[in-house]
Amino acid sequence: MTGKTHAAAGAFAGALAGRLIGDPLTGMAIGAVAALLPDVDHPGSYVGRRLRPVSVLLEMAAGHRTVTHTVWFCAVVGILAALVSTLARPYTAVLHLPWWPTWPAAGLDAFLGALSHLALDALTRSGVEPLAPLLPLRLRGPLETGDPLVELPAATLFALAALRLAGAV
């Protein structure tokens, strides 16, 4: 899948988490960003172009859709989001950021956003090994990455569903 579809699915996952334990709009933003992070191992991706040295190093060391396409990476993304939320919390009142998420909300939004990336990539022919290295089980589907007949409707539906969950439509 492409970045736009991943971001839309992550926004949906974050909005869903936000509906449960936080703010759906903040959840959308966190989920969308987190959904792009697993592709940091691909220098041509949105995140890979912005973090080029890290991206090139990851691709050389492990390849694409390996380390960053596991549930363990998603957990790290969630933990880091929770940590950032906690460390920044004292400054949110001074900066007038009443929407700032609590650490459980930020962590869950980010974890589910990153996990949505794995779910979508598992539908492609290349697939993913989400439990590697513990369980070498490759999940793959019939879809071709970048197929506009799949990507456009999927991104649109995820984005509309996220906006609906957030109460924006």
Identify the CA nearest to 11 among candidates 34, 30, 28: 28
Helix%, strand%, coil% for the chain, nearest 5: 65, 0, 30
Q: Which residues contact 122 (CB under 8 A, 6 or more apart)?
A: 128, 130, 139, 140, 141
- CA distance linking residue 39 with residue 91, whole number of Å: 31
Q: What is the pLDDT of residues 109-154, one digit of tens each?
A: 999 999 999 999 999 999 999 999 999 999 999 999 999 999 999 9
Q: What is the number of structural domains in the chain?
A: 1
Q: What is the pLDDT of residues 78-109, one digit of tens each?
A: 999 999 999 998 888 788 888 788 889 999 99
Provide the pLDDT for residue 97. Answer: 82
pTM of the model: 0.94
Which range marks the domain in which residue 100 is found?
Answer: 3-165
CA quadruple 49, 42, 120, 66: dihedral, nearest 10: -150
